[in-house]
Structure 1
Amino acid sequence: MEKLYNDYFQTVFKYLFCMSHDADLSEELTQETFYQALKTYDSFRGDCKVSVWLCQIAKYLWFKEYEKRKRYASNSIDEIADSLPAKENIEQTVLASESKVALYRRFQSLDEKTREVVYLRLTGELSFREIGEILNRNETWARVTFYRGKQKLAEAGQE
């Protein structure tokens, strides 16, 4: 199991970091992923690569954590007040926020697999080979899917 951990720790950590954008949470969930893998290793059938199996466990744990955090999310008045921009920056902040919202809307128009490839590539800085392995596809598929996703985002931005 130690060899498995050493071989796949970085892959699982990067995958989780892509989704969470939180290094501490990613590390915690990576540890939990390997714990769950150890508990269920006997039931692993070998239908897919080990990295894919581990990333599926990690994905499940991330969604579980995300739902838990979403339920218990609450901001205090002080936290909200501290995050407000100064008066002179409000216009710039609003414009930047509107462009972010527009980008996220365009991003949501992509199909799930394309969205995941683009997300892993841009936020996780994963190679096309790593993305292909995680999604149980090949490097060429990941490269083409990313390229087509970028084209769709650009076309949607021109409308």
Structure 2
Amino acid sequence: MDEDIKLVKSVLNGNIDSFNIIVNKYETMILKFIYNILRDKEASEDISQEVFITVYNKLYMYNTSYKFSNWILQIARNKCIDYIRKYKRVYESNLDDIKEVASNEMSPEQTAEFKETKETVLNFIKELSETDRQIIILRYTQNLTFYDIGEILNISESAVKRRYYKLRDKFKENSKVKEKRWRV
């Protein structure tokens, strides 16, 4: 965090190279975050650029008592909301854009089980409200704490925890129902 504050101060003093360091440090994280919300590769790339333009233009507004990564993720979240409002929908994922995680070392049974589990998880996430989806995305793709997620989404840490654990229980319940159907 201290490194980020030094970079921000350096940019505010006119050092553009420090901003390039910030971009290089956070561009992958921001792109993944946006893609996980929109599921559109081109839109994600465009919005990522908009995020960094906004960060540069509003850097003077950054409050150093908060994590810089949370601040930039909050900007990315707001840009996604603006995009969704403008286009009135979230694009469905293009399966060609998603890299398969399954390794070549997995047996055919393991690969099939992995794909089935992945499909179940993606379908569950697709059905969630926007806030719940963002909680799951931030928790699992960015490995953020409940406190950090609450800061980004502008809700209390306890509300994030409550929603997260309710979602987790709901997912487990849905999984049990599907499992019972397969056994019959």
Decide: shared fold, TM above 0.5.
Answer: yes
Q: Pairwise mapping of residues 8-157 of structure 1 onto structure 2 (< 5 A)?
A: 8-70=26-88, 103=124, 107-108=128-129, 112=131, 115-120=133-138, 126-128=141-143, 131-132=144-145, 135=149, 149-155=167-173
**Percent identity of paired positions between Structure 1 and Structure 2:** 20
The CA deviation at 1:135 is: 1.9
Does structure 1 retain, via aligned residues, the 8 Å contact 2:51–2:79?
yes
User: Distance between the aligned counterparts of 2:35 and 2:165, measured in 1?
Assistant: 22
SS at match of 1:48: coil
Aligned AA (1:59): R
Which one has a larger percent helix, Structure 1 or Structure 2?
A: 1
Q: Give the alignment's Cα RMSD to 1 decimal.
A: 3.8
Unaligned runs of 5+ residues in structure 2 are 1-18, 90-119, 152-157, 178-184
Preserved contact between residue 34 and residue 48 of structure 2 (Cα < 8 Å)? yes
Structure 1 residues 119, 3: closer, same or farther in 2, change over 3 A? closer
| Amino acid of the structure 2 residue aligned with 1:17 | Y
Change (3 A) 1:103 1:126: closer
Q: Which residue identity lines up with residue 27 of structure 1 in the other structure?
A: E
In structure 2, the residue corresponding to 1:135 is in which secondary structure? helix
Q: Offset of 1:66 from its aligned partner? A: 0.9
State the TM-score, normalized to the length of structure 2: 0.51
Conserved 8 A contact 1:115-1:149: no
Number of residues of Structure 1 aligned to a counterpart in Structure 2: 120
TM-score scaled by length of structure 1: 0.58
Displacement, 1:10?
A: 0.8
